[in-house]
């Protein structure tokens, strides 16, 4: 190692040390930084100057260090210059979140779209457009986007940015990183892992929990002492394929009786429909479930934004992604995306998916609020299955708390109790304490927020990578 290389490595390490302390303690004087890091005041001043120049920290006016001290200048993370984007492709929506380095969410974009019936390249093109609009807005407000992370619902090869298999999208081995072509580096990561990190950084603030991402699929992310548990290959947390009943309905993963077949969004919607087959009534396999959906007559192929509410479909005009809060003014929503040149099968599948979307979680919520027995029973059953699968999860990974997110956030008033009751009934005799079941405050935005948060963590851990050396 030459002396110059050694010097660069030491400078990089010290930049990270100083930025890490500023980030952890919110604001610090240079004198305090020198004391904490063990560096000289001169070195700290030089490092802080570099971090200011890179737009990572700012000075925040003179403060007095107690009675006897001279006025010092506080240094804190800059929230007005560097930003990260968090992206998500899920089965029925796209999401883009812009978060500044001070971890304030600056821009939220969620687009309801049926990605099951679209080709990966088309979904990626759509996400790129949505992202570039958000980036342009961020630039207009003075932010510089330095990187992104993309959340996808399936196991990901982190090194190549390829999603191996997203069964609910029907995708296999799609090299997302290279296809996305954005003007900044983008890594790809599993949606459920990122949702757990979103909960850690932007949610409850708990350090130990299992976060459950309920969507069309069901993923989980385990956080232990503030760190994500990934397993040997990064594929841990596939809660949706934990076995609830070994001879249950065939799952798209190839297994049988997976949790997803009882408590995934499709299973729940199907069970709640007045004309839907009960997912467990005859253990129908996945293709039967699919056929049952296709067989439901909506002759006009109504798109959900134009369909008129009727007795069996009262709220089809509502936005079709689950949102624990009211839709925000800056949230763009578009209709289901019809790919060009789709073959008849794809078109039929798209229609079925649109019909399913037309009876989305908001529709279920309206039925629940109206006291509809079928909807209540669907939630009871989904909550029970979730409780059974979580019982296995608690036995295996011993979380301190369980956070229900995604569609389970708005459904929490109707499923939270049955999940907790099922857990207590099965675990209470063996354990002194059964992990509490709590609701996520983030819902479907959790994964994209975690994605943006991961970029910010990376910048704080290695600021030298952003500096002109």
28 or 415: whose CB is closer to its own copies?
415
274 or 428: whose CB is closer to its own copies?
428
Answer for which of 399, 406, 443, 453 binds its own copies (CB under 8 A) is 399
CB of 433 vs its own copies, minimal distance in Å: 8
* Binding track, positions 426-455, relative to its own copies; x by CB under 8 A: xxxxxxx-----------------------
| C-alpha torsion 210→211→213→219, nearest 10 | -30
CB of 347 vs its own copies, minimal distance in Å: 26
- Rounded to whole angstroms, the Cα distance separating 259 from 262 reads 5
Answer for which of 28, 388, 439, 466 binds its own copies (CB under 8 A) is 388
Q: How far is CA 159 from CA 38, 128, 187, 233, 330, in A?
A: 36, 21, 9, 11, 34
Answer for which of 21, 59, 137, 208 binds its own copies (CB under 8 A) is 208
CB of 388 vs its own copies, minimal distance in Å: 5
* Binding track, positions 156-185, relative to its own copies; x by CB under 8 A: --------xx-x------------------
Answer for which of 274, 395, 413, 436 binds its own copies (CB under 8 A) is 395
Binding residues with its own copies: total (CB under 8 A): 47
Half-sphere exposure of 125 (CA within 13 A, CB side): 8
Q: Which segment (130-138, 298-306, 325-333, 388-396) binds its own copies by CB under 8 A?
A: 388-396
Give the pairing of strands 144-152 and 105-112.
Answer: unpaired
Of 211-250, binders to its own copies (CB under 8 A) are 220, 224, 229-239, 241-246
CB of 219 vs its own copies, minimal distance in Å: 10
Burial string for 250-289 (b: 16+ CB within 10 Å, else e) reads bbbbebbbbbbbbbbbbbbbbbbbeebbebbeeebebeeb
Q: Decide: is 125 part of the binding site for its own copies (CB under 8 A).
A: no
143 or 239: whose CB is closer to its own copies?
239
152 or 448: whose CB is closer to its own copies?
152
CB of 10 vs its own copies, minimal distance in Å: 16
Answer for which of 39, 179, 253, 465 binds its own copies (CB under 8 A) is 253
CB of 332 vs its own copies, minimal distance in Å: 33
Q: Which segment (108-116, 181-189, 302-310, 420-428) binds its own copies by CB under 8 A?
A: 420-428
Please measure the distance between the N-terminal and C-terminal CA atoms of the chain and give it in whole angstroms: 18
Q: How far is CA 361 from CA 264, 338, 368, in A?
A: 11, 22, 10
- Residues pairing with 112 in the sheet: 93
74 or 280: whose CB is closer to its own copies?
280
- Rounded to whole angstroms, the Cα distance separating 356 from 215 reads 13
- Rounded to whole angstroms, the Cα distance separating 59 from 73 reads 6
Q: Which segment (191-199, 316-324, 396-404, 409-417) binds its own copies by CB under 8 A?
A: 396-404
* Binding track, positions 267-306, relative to its own copies; x by CB under 8 A: ----------------------------------------
CB of 163 vs its own copies, minimal distance in Å: 12
**Contact residues: its own copies, CB under 8 A:** 155, 164-165, 167, 208, 220, 224, 229-239, 241-246, 253-256, 388-389, 391-393, 395-400, 425-432
């Amino acid at each position: 190692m030459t002396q110059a290389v050694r010097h660069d490595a030491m400078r990089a390490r010290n930049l990270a040390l100083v930025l890490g302390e500023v980030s952890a303690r919110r604001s610090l004087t240079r004198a305090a930084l020198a004391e904490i890091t063990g560096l000289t005041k001169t070195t700290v001043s030089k490092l802080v100057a570099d971090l200011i120049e890179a737009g990572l920290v700012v000075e925040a006016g003179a403060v007095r260090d107690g009675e006897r001290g001279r006025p010092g200048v506080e240094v804190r993370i800059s929230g007005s210059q560097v930003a990260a984007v968090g992206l998500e492709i899920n089965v029925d929506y796209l999401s883009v979140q812009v978060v500044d380095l001070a971890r304030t969410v600056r821009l939220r974009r969620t687009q309801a779209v049926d990605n099951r019936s679209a080709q990966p390249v088309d979904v990626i093109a759509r996400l790129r457009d949505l992202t570039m609009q958000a980036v342009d807005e961020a630039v207009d407000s003075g932010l510089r986007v330095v990187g992104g992370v993309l959340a996808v619902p399936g196991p990901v090869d982190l090194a190549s940015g390829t999603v191996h298999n997203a069964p609910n999208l029907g995708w296999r081995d799609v090299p997302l990183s290279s296809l996305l072509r954005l003007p900044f580096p983008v890594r790809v990561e599993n949606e459920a892992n990122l949702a757990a990190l979103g909960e850690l950084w932007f949610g409850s603030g708990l350090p130990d929990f299992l976060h459950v991402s309920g969507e069309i699929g069901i993923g989980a992310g385990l956080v232990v002492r503030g760190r994500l548990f990934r397993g040997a290959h990064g594929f841990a947390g596939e809660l949706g394929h934990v076995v609830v009943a070994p001879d249950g309905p065939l799952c798209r993963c190839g297994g049988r009786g997976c949790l997803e077949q009882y408590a995934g969004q499709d299973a729940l919607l199907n069970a709640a429909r007045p004309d839907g087959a009960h997912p467990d009534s005859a253990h129908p396999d996945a293709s039967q479930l699919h056929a049952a959906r296709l067989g439901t007559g909506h002759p006009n192929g109504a798109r959900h934004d134009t369909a008129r509410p009727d007795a069996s479909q009262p709220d089809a005009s509502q936005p079709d992604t689950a949102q624990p809060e009211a839709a925000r003014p800056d949230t763009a929503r578009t209709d289901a995306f019809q790919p060009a040149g789709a073959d008849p099968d794809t078109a039929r599948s798209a229609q079925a998916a649109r019909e399913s979307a037309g009876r989305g979680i908001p529709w279920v919520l309206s039925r629940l609020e109206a006291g509809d027995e079928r909807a209540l029973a669907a939630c009871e059953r989904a909550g029970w299955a979730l409780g059974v699968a979580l019982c296995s999860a608690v036995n295996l990974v011993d979380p301190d708390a369980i956070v229900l997110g995604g569609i389970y956030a708005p459904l929490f008033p109707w499923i939270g109790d049955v999940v907790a009751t099922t857990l207590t009934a099965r675990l209470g005799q063996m354990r002194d304490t059964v992990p509490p079941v709590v609701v996520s405050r983030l819902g479907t935005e959790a994964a994209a927020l975690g994605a943006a948060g991961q970029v910010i963590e990376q910048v704080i851990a290695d600021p030298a990578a952003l500096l002109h050396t």
